[in-house]
Amino acid sequence: QLSDRQKMTESTFSRFRGVYLAAALHPLNKTLVKGGKWKDMDSAQEKRRSFLHDFCKKYNSRKKLRTHLVHLVSRIYVEDRHKVLYCEVPKAGCSNWKRVLMVLNGLASSAYNISHDDVHYGKHLRKLDSYDLKGIYTRLNTYTKTIFVRDPMERLVSAFRDKFEHPNSYYHPVFGKAIIKKYRHNANEEALKTGSGVKFKEFIQYLLDSQRPVGMDIHWEQVSKLCYPCLISYDFIGKFETLEEDANYFLQLVGAPAELKFPKFKDRHSSDERTSAEVVRQYLKELSKEERQLTYDFYYLDYLMFNYTSP
């Protein structure tokens, strides 16, 4: 007998049967790696790759791609000089990764003088879905594909803090107003008008609602639906928890200039405490036991795929 959760996992993948891209696990090309200090990074990387590959093999059916290709690659950024494909996972170091891609591509001399707006609104980088089918296939088959992930609850709380606890001209009027209107009883006129001051519990009610008043957003969408890690074979799996080490090892693998290192700075709200396990614990206290369980279930695949411990 399959548990309810296994059934949920199976049904998630059944929608993608017939669109399977992932082939056998290819060895990473390590010919450009210099020095012996990357041994631990390499060992961790092989474990992550094998874990994800085995998970996908267990839960997914291997059939040839027929549909959805352009949708599957819509979050993947392309850097042609060093033959890199990077799937963007918001709140897992993506702003600094895009800065690095711009430097690799010759669009900037340093990651440190690229503004937040330039990164997110400058349209300097191409996405994989902007190429024709041949261009997409060629790059998927020959470029080094990477994804950087983060503990799902930390990523969720980080997104909430960023979008709802600071002034925001998009998320407050678009998401905030709809959330307050539906989930806050006796909301005052000011809150309904501005959409500011959404509480974490209200945000979770929206997240878990099958009849959401406003759609999903990439900042809290599951990684399984952003980057399709069981349909696209990622060569390198980085984690936010070891972001700098993983990123700098990856830059070695693709032959990046020796002076290019992954930037350390926090992109926005730099004075805020980083979202840690302890910060997450404080936010989860605002939820009922059932809400906490349902939120975990919502991100269950992400926990499973990337071997994160349940909170």
Residue 16 confidence (pLDDT) above 60:
no
Which is more confident, 17 or 80?
Answer: 80
- pLDDT at position 114 is 82
Digit-coded pLDDT (tens) for 86-129? 999 999 999 999 999 999 998 888 888 887 778 777 778 999 99
In this structure, the number of other CB atoms found within 10 A of the CB of residue 232 comes to 19
CA atoms within 13 A on the CB side of 88: 25
Q: State the DSSP H helix or E strand holding residue 176, giving kind and residue range, or none if neither.
A: none
- pLDDT over 90, % of the chain: 70
Neighbour tally for 6: CB within 10 Å: 12
- CA atoms lying within 13 Å on the CB side of residue 31: 1
Let me know: does 73 contact 231? Beta carbons within 8 Å.
no
Q: What is the distance between the alpha carbons of residues 62 and 23, in angstroms, rounded to a whole number?
A: 9
Mean pLDDT of 282-309: 97
Exposed e or buried b per residue across 104-143, where buried means at least 16 C-beta atoms within 10 angstroms of its C-beta:
bbeebeebeebeeebbeeeeebbebeebeeeebeebbeeb
Residue 309 pLDDT: 94
What CA–CA distance (Å, rounded) separates 241 from 154?
10
Q: Are 85 and 77 in contact (CB under 8 A)?
A: yes
Encode pLDDT of 25-38 as tens digits: 778 888 888 777 88
Nearest one of 162, 198, 199, 159 to 177, comparing CA atoms: 198
At residue 23 the predicted structure's pLDDT band, cuts being 50, 70 and 90, is: low
Average pLDDT over residues 53-66: 70
pLDDT over 90 at 222, yes or no: yes
- Give this prediction's pTM: 0.88
Domain ranges of the chain: 38-155+221-275
| pLDDT score at 17 | 44
